[in-house]
Amino acid sequence: MKNINDLWARAAEVLASSMSQVSFDVWIKTLVPLCAVNKKLILVTPSISSQVLINKNYIETIRSAVLRFSGLFPDANSQTAFPEIDGVEIVTDAQKDEFILPADFDGAAIAAALEKREDDSSVFVPKYTFENFVEAPSNDFVLAAAVAVAKNPGGRHNPLFIHGGVGLGKTHLMHAIGNYIREHFPSMKVVCVPTEKFTNELIDSIRNNRDSRDFREKYRTADVLMLDDVQFLSGKSGTQDAVFHTFNDLHQAGKQIILTSDKPPKEIALLEERLSSRFAWGLTGNIQPPDHETRVAILKKKALQEKYNVDPVVINFIADKIDSNVREMEGLLSRVIFYSTLVGKPADSLALANEALKDYIDNKSDSVNAGDIIDACCNFFRVGKADITGKKKNREIVEPRQIAIYLITEMLSLPLVSIGQLFGGRDHTTVMHARDKISEKIKSDPKTKATVVNIRTYISDVKKALV
Ligand code: ADP
Ligand code: MG
């Protein structure tokens, strides 16, 4: 059982880095691993509607994250590998009892994990604060409006409607208001949900009468209601109706409403007029893509937050690559930081940034080269590049060298002679010998196998992180 929890924890780390924080918090974090049956990992989700939504939008991403760890040894010292998994199934709390559970199943632990899953509608991403938001001509109007609303919820600007393109900071500002109110008006009830989740909860409440009271209670008793990405109301008349009534109740009672969308209210397709007009009653503000100077400022702030020293040359390089989506730009920065720690070199040169981002920029996400493999082995075994490719014959160097050669022959289709050249002009028969030695050792020695598998995962992690 422990193995399954660990495997899921590893997969969740991968997922956290490959989707937006809010999507991760809402859909992935609430999953609890139940068991593995017939090579399938069973994950429990709270409701049917979240099961449907996860199956529709995230199941493939989840599956590939889990498969990366299938059958692997958690680390070089482990005696037991993760179970072999080739699929993932999402079940609801109610369905989970249909599974015949393995002998070592820890029912109490699962019950505790399920219990712990609180309603996350009032949880704000801690780093999404006003202090961490870089003010710029592209966003200063909206920022001022957001601060005004945070200081005086239910005041003059009601509703506050923020619109703008993907990754420009709408959710960040909404959570910044939430974090501010949480600190300064702790008794206020703030409810913040992505529109898709609101829709799901409504569907669940219609299915089941008890939830229906919970649903009303949750939304109509809010002092501040935040609905993120209301463009997803498009064409959903049932949800629009629920939003309409909730809006009226709250607005009349002087409660604050905050909405975000990728377009202004009137441009949302298939949105009833009674809603689009209400959405525009208060203050509507637009976030524009940041200019170069702002992009540089955002990157500097982010590097500072990560406590990582990134040279201005590298910051500028990244700011030049992406001109609209801040989330993508942050992704590039994370990749550079990740790469720089992996190869153990400071993030201070264009060469390093280019190397770290070359697949991203060339759009060849999974091309690995011999340098990547050598770097990964050096870093894994903590040996220098000059040593691994040099003449030394001591054991601490020879085995890493042989493993690097083995991996290059396995992962790339390079002629043996060229591989010999990479390793200080060695003969191709030496290359063959190294390759065969490791390939034999993998069969007989689980530790060597785990080591090789871990380095491969390591290499592909760097690559995947760059996608
Ligand atoms: P949206 O909701 O508009 O798609 P997000 O609010 O999720 O975008 O923002 C994407 C990322 O960009 C977040 O990590 C956010 O912190 C960051 N970001 C966007 N604009 C700024 C800014 N002006 N200052 C600091 N970070 C920003
Ligand atoms: Mg958003």
**Ligand 1 within 6 A of CB of 170:** yes
Count of beta carbons in the 10 Å neighbourhood of residue 238: 11
108 pLDDT above the threshold of 90: no
Q: How many domains does the chain have?
A: 4
* 365 pLDDT tier (thresholds 50, 70, 90): very low
- Whether 238 and 336 share a structural domain: no
Q: What is the pTM of this model?
A: 0.68
For residue 129, tell me if it sits in a domain: no
Q: How confident is the model at residue 364 (pLDDT cuts 50, 70, 90)?
A: very low
Q: Which residue is listed with tokens 């082995």?
A: 377
Residue span of the structural domain in which 233 resides: 140-287
C-alpha distance from residue 299 to each of 158, 309, 312, 313 (Å): 32, 11, 10, 12
CATH number of the domain at 450, please. Answer: 1.10.1750.10
Per-residue pLDDT reduced to its tens digit, 265-279: 999 999 999 999 999
Q: What is the pLDDT of residue 115?
A: 67
| Residue 445 lies inside a defined structural domain of this protein | yes
299 lines ligand 1 (CB under 6 A): no
SS3 content of the chain, % helix, strand, coil (to 5): 60, 10, 30
Most confident of 51-60, 67-76, 356-365: 51-60
Residues 199 and 264 in one domain: yes
Mutate to test the pocket of ligand 1, among 17, 135, 168, 291 (most ligand atoms within 8 A of CB): 168
Does ligand 1 lie within 6 Å of residue 300's CB atom? Answer: no
Same domain, 378 and 352: no
Lowest mean pLDDT among 32-36, 105-109, 152-156, 437-441: 105-109
- Statement to judge: residues 102 and 158 lie in one domain: no
Q: Mean pLDDT throughout 241-254?
A: 97
Nearest atom in ligand 1 to 128's CA: 16
Which residues, listed in sequence order, are joined to residue 347 by a DSSP beta bridge? 310
- Least confident range of 116-125, 408-417, 435-444: 116-125
* CATH number for the domain that contains residue 305: 1.10.8.60
144/283 same-domain check: yes
Helical packing angle, 395-411 and 370-381, nearest 10°: 150
The mean pLDDT value for 59-87 works out to 87
Q: What is the mean pLDDT of residues 217-231?
A: 95
Helix (H) or strand (E) holding 33: strand 32-37
Could you tell me if 182 and 225 lie in one domain?
Answer: yes
Claim to verify: residue 203 and residue 255 sit in the same structural domain: yes
Cα–Cα distance list, 363 to 326, 335, 341, 376, 465 (Å) = 19, 15, 23, 21, 13
Q: How many A from CA of 327 to the centre of ligand 2? A: 10
User: Is pLDDT above 60 for 168?
Assistant: yes
- Boundary residue ending a domain (270, 287, 304): 287
The mean predicted confidence, pLDDT, of the chain is: 89
Last residue of a domain, one of 287, 306, 340: 287
Asked whether 262 lines ligand 1 (CB < 6 A), one says: no
Would residue 226 count as lying in a domain?
yes
Same domain, residue pair 308 and 355: yes
- Residue 292 Cα distances to 123, 297, 313, 319, 455, angstroms: 32, 9, 14, 6, 38
In the reported structure, the alpha carbon of residue 155 is separated from the centroid of ligand 1 by a whole-number distance in angstroms of 25
> What confidence category does residue 37 fall into, taking pLDDT thresholds of 50, 70 and 90?
confident
**298 C-beta closer than 6 A to ligand 1:** yes
Q: How far is CA 323 from CA 22, 157, 289, 292, 329, in A?
A: 23, 31, 7, 7, 8
Are both 18 and 106 inside the same structural domain? yes
Among residues 346, 362, 363, 308, which one has the least CA distance to residue 330? 308
CATH number of the domain to which 86 belongs: 3.30.300.180
Rounded average pLDDT over 171-191: 95
Q: Which residues contact 109 (CB under 8 A, 6 or more apart)?
A: 1
- Whether 50 maps to a domain, the answer reads yes
- Ligand nearest the Cα atom of residue 21: 1
Q: Which of 331, 333, 343 is nearest to 309 (CA)?
A: 333
Mean of pLDDT values over 51-64 = 91
Query: CA 5 to CA 426: how far, in whole Å?
Result: 45
Give pLDDT, residue 231.
Answer: 96
pLDDT in tens, 143-153: 999 999 999 99
- What local confidence, expressed as pLDDT, does residue 363 receive? 43
Which pLDDT score is estimated for 271?
97
Whether 150 maps to a domain, the answer reads: yes
Q: Which residues pair with 92 in a beta bridge?
A: 45
Q: Which atom of ligand 1 is nearest to the CA of 164?
A: 3
Atom of ligand 1 nearest to the CA of 294: 23
For every residue of 276-335, DSSP letters joined together read: HHHHTSSEEEEEPPP-HHHHHHHHHHHHHHTT--B-HHHHHHHHHH-SS-HHHHHHHHHH
What sign does the CA torsion over 23, 465, 86, 447 have? negative
Residue 446 Cα to ligand 2 middle (Å): 45
Q: Is 227 in the pocket of ligand 1 (CB under 6 A)?
A: no
Percent of all residues in the chain with a pLDDT value above 90, rounded to a whole number? 55
Tell me, what's the pLDDT at 430?
Answer: 92
Residue 222: pLDDT band (50, 70, 90) is very high
Residues lining ion ligand 2 (Cβ < 5 A) are 170-171
pLDDT over 80 (residue 122): no
Does 256 lie in the same domain as 358? no
Q: Indicate which atom in ligand 1 lies nearest the CA of residue 329.
A: 12
Which pLDDT does position 27 carry in this prediction? 87
Q: 53 and 94 share a domain? A: yes
